[in-house]
Amino acid sequence: MTPDVNRQITLFARPHGVPKKSDFKLVETPVPTPGEGEVIVRSIYLSLDPYMRGRMNEAKSYAAPVGIGEVMEGGVVGEVIASKNPKFNEGDIVFGYLGWQEYASSNGKGLRKLDASQVPISTALGILGMPGMTAYTGLSNIGKPKEGETLVVAAASGAVGSAVGQIGKIKGCRVIGIAGGAEKCDFVVRELGFDACINHHDEEFAQNLEYACRDGIDIYWENVGGAVFEAVLPLFNFFARMPVCGLIAHYNATSLPDGPNKTPLLMRSVLTNRLHIQGFIVWDYASQQTEFETTMSNWIKDGKVKYREDFVEGLENAPDAFIGLLEGRNFGKLVIQVSANLTL
Amino acid sequence: MTPDVNRQITLFARPHGVPKKSDFKLVETPVPTPGEGEVIVRSIYLSLDPYMRGRMNEAKSYAAPVGIGEVMEGGVVGEVIASKNPKFNEGDIVFGYLGWQEYASSNGKGLRKLDASQVPISTALGILGMPGMTAYTGLSNIGKPKEGETLVVAAASGAVGSAVGQIGKIKGCRVIGIAGGAEKCDFVVRELGFDACINHHDEEFAQNLEYACRDGIDIYWENVGGAVFEAVLPLFNFFARMPVCGLIAHYNATSLPDGPNKTPLLMRSVLTNRLHIQGFIVWDYASQQTEFETTMSNWIKDGKVKYREDFVEGLENAPDAFIGLLEGRNFGKLVIQVSANLTL
C-alpha cells in the first residue's frame, strides 16, 4: 500500500563554500498519481555523486543548475508501483534520474529497466552505472592505456577511481592509487589489486608518490585537483595523458588559492612533455553504453573487477552524507537506501 | 675563395631571465675542411626562433641544452662549398641544423637539398620549414578546424601564427589574431586576411577580444601564455581545442607570477567545457613532412598563403636580434642574413 506522503529533499539555498545541512530542505508533498503515459516509481536507492555539488551553483557548466526550491537531482534505482505507460509494469525495477525523493513520476523517458536477477540492482548507480561508465569511457577514449605504462588514479577507493584502476590492471598497466587514509589505501591494494596506493594525508605524500612512480607517470586520472595534482605534475612522462573527470578538492572553494600563480608550471609541462589534458563527462560517450555494460558485466562475473558500496539509510540523511562525500568521509560508492529492496 | 676565419656565436653563460648580449660570445675558429664523407656549408641564412631560449637553460625539456662554450643551435640555409660526400656537390643549396656560425661541417645527416628555382631559399626556415610545418601539423592534428568555427591565434604576425591563421581561413574558420601593436594587427588583417586582430598592448585587450569572439572560441593556438592566455580562458566553447606550441611570455621568467594561484580556473574550464589541451613539437609529426611541403607549396603558389620575413644582416647581430625576438621586436619570420645569397 502506498503511503500518502512523499518526502523530498530540495535545494533551499545555494551554498557558499562547504554545503551546510541548512542549504537543503526536507519537504513533504503528496505522492504523485500517474497521468496518461506516466509511471510512479518508489525510490529504493539514491546515488550521491560529487558532480551534484556543481548543480548547486549558478555558474555556467555542462548542465543547468538545480533551481532554488527544486528537488535535488540524482540517479535512482526504484520499483514501478503504478503505471499508465505500456512500456512499464508494476513491479519493474528501473533506473532513472528521479531526484532526491521517495516517489517520483516519470513519462518513461530516460527510464531504463534493470534485470534484478543478474547483479544487485544498486550496481546500476555505481560500477554498472554512471561512475563505472565514466571510468570505462574516460580511460579508453582519453587515457588510452598501453601495457607496461604507469597509471596513477586519484580518489582510488571511490566509485570511479576504483573502476579506473582495475581496468588499468586489466590493460596491463602498473597502477598506483592515491587515497585519503591508510584503510582506504589498504583496500585499494589488497582488494582491488592496485600495485600501490599512496595516502595523501601523509606528510611525505609527494615523496612517496614519486618513489612509487619511479618510471614516471604515463596516465593520470584527475578526479581531485589541488595538492594531489601538484604532487603528480612533476612526474609526467613525455606524451602522458590526463583525463579530467572531476576536481573535488576545488568544488567547495570560494576563492582562488594563494599565490604564486602556478599556471606556468602546468603549461610548461604541457609543452615540454607534450601532455594531452582533456576534460569529459560520461554522456560525451553515450554511444558506448552497450559496449560498456557488456564488458563490465563480464569483468564482474569473471572476478576481474570488484566494487564496494557505502550504504546510508534514510533519505533524510542524504544531505549529511553528501557533505561527507565532498570531504572523503565515504568509503566506496555512496548510496542512500531510501526504502526496502524487496528484490533481495 | 674561402676565407680562413669562421665566426661562431657560442653560449657563454646561461641567462638568468632575459638573455643579455654577454650571455653569447663571438669566437673565431678556422674554417673547417671536409673529412671523408663530409661537406662544408657556407651559411647564407640563419633562423632565429623562440625555442632557442629553452636550449639556453639546463632544465629537462624535449631536447638537450646547448653546452656552455658550444655553438648556439639553429637551422641554416647555406651553400655546399666543399664536399667529400657523394650525395652533395659544391654549389648545392641545403638546409640543416648547422648552428649560429658562418661555416659548418656536416656528415650529410639531416642535411636536405633545396630547389632554389621554385621559391626563395629563405622560406626553408619559415613558411616551408619548421615554423610552417609546426603550424600545419599542430592545427590539423590537434586543432582539427571545422568550417564555421572560431580560431584564435596568439602571436598572429609571427612565423608560426601567421601560417596557422591562414590555414584556418582555408579550412573555413573565422580567424581572430592577437598581436602586439597596431602595425602588426593591420598586417594580419589586410595582408594575411584574418577576420580581425586584437592588439594585446591595448588596455581594453580583454574586452576587445571578447567582442571579437562573440560566438566563443573553438580553437586557441597557444604560442604565448601569460596575460594573453588569461584573456582567452573565459571564452572557450564546449569541446574547444588548444594546441600548445609555445609560451614565449614565460621563457624569460625567473620566478612564478604573483598569486592568487589561477590553476583552478584553467582546470575548471578543462572540466566543464571539456577542453582538449595538448602540447606538441613539430618532430612529433615528422611523418607528415612530405604532405606538408606539397600542400603548403601549392597554397603559396595559389596565393592562399602569404609570408613575411624580417631579415637582419650579419651573424654578429644574431644575439641582439634574438633578444628582440623574445620581446616581440621582430615583424615576421626572423632571419639572419649571414652571407650573400648568390641564387638570387
Name every chain B residue with its beta carbon within 8 A of the beta carbon of A284: 274
Q: Do A244 and B273 touch (CB under 8 A)?
A: no
Confidence of residue A344 (pLDDT cuts 50, 70, 90): confident
- Does the structure show a pLDDT above 80 at A1? no
Q: Do B272 and A244 touch (CB under 8 A)?
A: no
Average pLDDT over residues A46-65: 91
pTM of the model: 0.95
Q: Do A274 and B273 touch (CB under 8 A)?
A: no
Dump pLDDT digits (tens) for A266-318. 999 999 999 999 999 999 999 999 999 999 999 999 999 999 999 999 999 99
ipTM of predicted assembly, 2 dp:
0.94
Give chain B's contact residues with A (Cβ, < 8 Å).
54, 60-62, 222, 225-226, 229, 238, 244-247, 250, 253, 255-281, 284
Name every chain B residue with its beta carbon within 8 A of the beta carbon of A246: 271
Closest CA to B174 of B209, B231, B217, B206: B217
- H/E element, A333: strand A333-337
Q: Rounded to whole angstroms, how far apart are CA atoms A210 and A193? A: 20
The pLDDT, as a whole number, for residue A286 is 96
Confidence of residue A339 (pLDDT cuts 50, 70, 90): very high
Average pLDDT over residues A96-106: 98
* Residue of chain A minimizing CA distance to B259: A259
The pLDDT, as a whole number, for residue A59 is 81
Q: Do B225 and A264 touch (CB under 8 A)?
A: yes
Distance from CA of A132 to the nearest CA of B (A): 18
Name every chain A residue with its beta carbon within 8 A of the beta carbon of B250: 264, 267-268
Q: Do B276 and A278 touch (CB under 8 A)?
A: yes
Distance from CA of B165 to the nearest CA of A (A): 20
The pLDDT, as a whole number, for residue B2 is 62
Which residue out of A53, A239, A277, A280 would a mutagenesis test of the B interface target, given it has the greatest number of B Cβ atoms within 10 Å?
Answer: A277
Average pLDDT over residues A250-255: 93
Average pLDDT over residues A244-262: 94
Which domains does chain B carry?
5-126+307-337 (3.90.180.10), 130-284 (3.40.50.720)
Q: Rounded to whole angstroms, how far apart are CA atoms B277 and B285? A: 17
Residue from the list B262, B275, B277 with its beta carbon closest to the beta carbon of A261: B262
A260 upstream amide cis, omega within 30 of 0: yes
Q: Give the burial class of A234: count Cβ atoms within 10 A of its Cβ; 0-12 exposed, 13-18 middle, 19 or more buried.
A: middle
Averaged confidence pLDDT in chain A: 96
* Residue of chain B minimizing CA distance to A269: B279
**Would you state the cell numbers that stand for residue B245, as one nine-digit string?**
606550441
Name every chain B residue with its beta carbon within 8 A of the beta carbon of A276: 276-279
Where does residue B332 fall: left (phi above 0), alpha (psi -120 to 50 degrees), or beta otherwise? left
* Residue of chain B minimizing CA distance to A268: B247
The pLDDT, as a whole number, for residue A99 is 98
Q: Do A264 and B276 touch (CB under 8 A)?
A: no
Which residue out of B51, B238, B261 would a mutagenesis test of the A interface target, given it has the greatest number of A Cβ atoms within 10 Å?
Answer: B261
The pLDDT, as a whole number, for residue A2 is 62
Name every chain B residue with its beta carbon within 8 A of the beta carbon of A278: 270, 274-277
Cα angle A25, A31, A35 (rounded to 5 degrees) comes to 125
Which residues, given as ranges, of chain B have pLDDT below 70?
1-2
Which residue out of A268, A273, A281 would a mutagenesis test of the B interface target, given it has the greatest number of B Cβ atoms within 10 Å?
Answer: A268
Cα dist. A60→A75, B63, B192 in Å?
22, 40, 35
Q: Do A250 and B268 touch (CB under 8 A)?
A: yes
Q: Do A250 and B264 touch (CB under 8 A)?
A: yes
Distance from CA of A203 to the nearest CA of B (A): 22
Cα angle A234, B274, B213 (rounded to 5 degrees) comes to 110
Contacts of A129 (CB under 8 A, 6+ apart): A47, A75, A95, A123
- Does the structure show a pLDDT above 70 at A173? yes
Q: Do A259 and B261 touch (CB under 8 A)?
A: yes
Q: Do B265 and A259 touch (CB under 8 A)?
A: no
Q: Do B264 and A247 touch (CB under 8 A)?
A: yes
Name every chain A residue with its beta carbon within 8 A of the beta carbon of B60: 272
Distance from CA of B289 to the nearest CA of A (A): 19
3-state secondary structure of B330: coil
Dump pLDDT digits (tens) for A194-225. 999 999 999 999 999 999 999 999 999 999 99
- Does the structure show a pLDDT above 80 at A227? yes
Q: Do A274 and B278 touch (CB under 8 A)?
A: yes
Distance from CA of A225 to the nearest CA of B (A): 8
The pLDDT, as a whole number, for residue B1 is 55
Q: Do B256 and A262 touch (CB under 8 A)?
A: yes
Is residue B132 within 8 Å of B112, Cβ to Cβ? no
Dump pLDDT digits (tens) for B36-67. 999 999 999 999 999 999 999 998 777 889 99
Cα dist. B235→B181, B224, B229, B260 in Å?
22, 17, 10, 20
DSSP B131: H
The pLDDT, as a whole number, for residue A45 is 98
Name every chain A residue with its beta carbon within 8 A of the beta carbon of B244: 267, 270-271
Name every chain B residue with its beta carbon within 8 A of the beta carbon of A265: 256
Contacts of A6 (CB under 8 A, 6+ apart): A28, A29, A30, A31, A32, A101, A102, A103
Name every chain B residue with its beta carbon within 8 A of the beta carbon of A250: 264, 267-268
What are the backbone dihedrals phi and psi of residue B324, each rounded to the nearest 5 degrees, phi first?
-65, -35
**Would you state the cell numbers that stand for residue B202, as one nine-digit string?**
591595448
Residue from the list B62, B261, B273 with its beta carbon closest to the beta carbon of A260: B261
